[in-house]
Amino acid sequence: MTISDKILMEVNNLKVHFNIKSDNAWPWQKGHALKAVDGVNLTIYEGETLGVVGESGCGKSTLARALLRLVPITEGNVVWLGQDLTDLDKKQMRDKRQELQMIFQDPLASLNPRMTVGDIIAEPLQTFQPHLSKAEIKQEVRAMMDKVGLLPNVINRYPHEFSGGQCQRIGIARALILKPKLVVCDEPVSALDVSIQAQVVNLLKALQAEMNLSLVFIAHDLSVVKHISDRVLVMYLGNAVELASRQALYETPQHPYTKALLSAVPVPDPKIERDKKIQLLTGDLPSPISPPSGCVFRTRCPHANETCALQKPVLQPLSDEQQAACIRLADIA
């Protein structure tokens, strides 16, 4: 699928902080700011898939929800087709959700257990297109079920009667029934078997080409991200540390954290895997309540020095296809 130069979404200095209080705090006492996302900038183009990777707790899922305004945004803005979503009230944002949809991590938990498959997929149409007749809605639902590989005779069954992979197909059908422009996939294959993961990823790629979708694909598995993504954003402790095309990131990673992540990916060739040098990270992941000063990765970085504690790096262009946030890149290249 060809990626357009048309910008769908611009994210500017996006911050999502949560106020955390201890269990024994007094009601009038202020809590601590948990910096789940702390100043992310990115652009999403029409027809592309942007992969988002990083350790658990790095802010991937919070970023995904912030893009759709499912969590409050502390600072910054999200601009969708030239319109700032942070300026919209609840009703205006509700109308925008026809163009912005989400596929969740747990396929079964994301579906209403009291509704049939047909009702689950039809619900967005009933909400946003009330002018459609029951016959028209049923026709749309059956057509979408066919696209995602669900047989028409399961339309009256309930979610608990399906496997995890089938439940995820139902969730995909529900997200795509309104023909959105952008779909955020929050670890949609992490709860599935490996063979089913491949089927779901290939299904998403096929639907993307057919429906001209843009995807934000969040995952832990870097092999899956490499297969589906056009560009990849690497996050660490709420910050973007590298943003690059798929080829540039996997062939010439620049940030020390990206190099460590990629070195841990298994290689199917036994000789290459045996000779590969794994770059182990020392220390524990810092708390997002009290992140390190300067570069948030410096406490685990093998190249850090005293200057890394004084200045917070931001993404800097290294080429047309690659950006990285590290003030010592010239020294460690």
Domains of the chain, residue spans? 7-19+32-99+180-252
Q: What angle do CA 73, 75, 81 make, to 5 degrees?
A: 70
- The whole-number pLDDT of residue 4 equals 76
Q: For residues 147 and 210, what is the distance between their CA atoms, to the nearest angstrom?
A: 10
Give the confidence band of 195 by pLDDT, cuts at 50, 70, 90.
confident
Token output for 19 = 């106020």
Predicted local confidence at residue 265, as pLDDT: 76
pLDDT digit string (tens) for 20-79? 887 777 776 778 889 999 999 999 999 999 999 998 889 999 999 999 999 999 999 999
**Given 1.10.40.30, 3.40.91.10, 3.40.190.10, 3.40.50.300, which CATH number is that of 7-19+32-99+180-252?**
3.40.50.300
Q: Could you tell me the pTM of the whole model?
A: 0.91
Per-residue pLDDT reduced to its tens digit, 96-150: 999 999 999 888 888 999 999 999 999 999 999 999 999 999 999 999 999 999 9
What was the pLDDT predicted at 1?
54
> If pLDDT is split at 50, 70 and 90, which confidence band does 191 have?
confident
For 207-257, how does the pLDDT look when each residue is reduced to its tens digit (9 = 90+)? 999 999 999 999 988 888 999 999 999 999 999 999 999 999 999 999 999
* Helix pair 194-211, 164-176: axis angle to 10 deg: 20
What pLDDT score was predicted for residue 275?
67
Give the Cα separation of 267 and 244 in Å (integer): 21
Q: How far apart are CA 37 and CA 75, in angstroms?
A: 10
pLDDT (tens digit, 9 = 90+) per residue, 266-325? 776 666 666 667 777 887 888 899 899 999 999 999 888 899 999 899 999 999 999 999
Of 291, 297, 294, 305, nearest to 279 by C-alpha is: 297
Q: Where does the pLDDT of residue 81 fall: very low under 50, low under 70, confident under 90, or very high at 90 and above?
A: very high
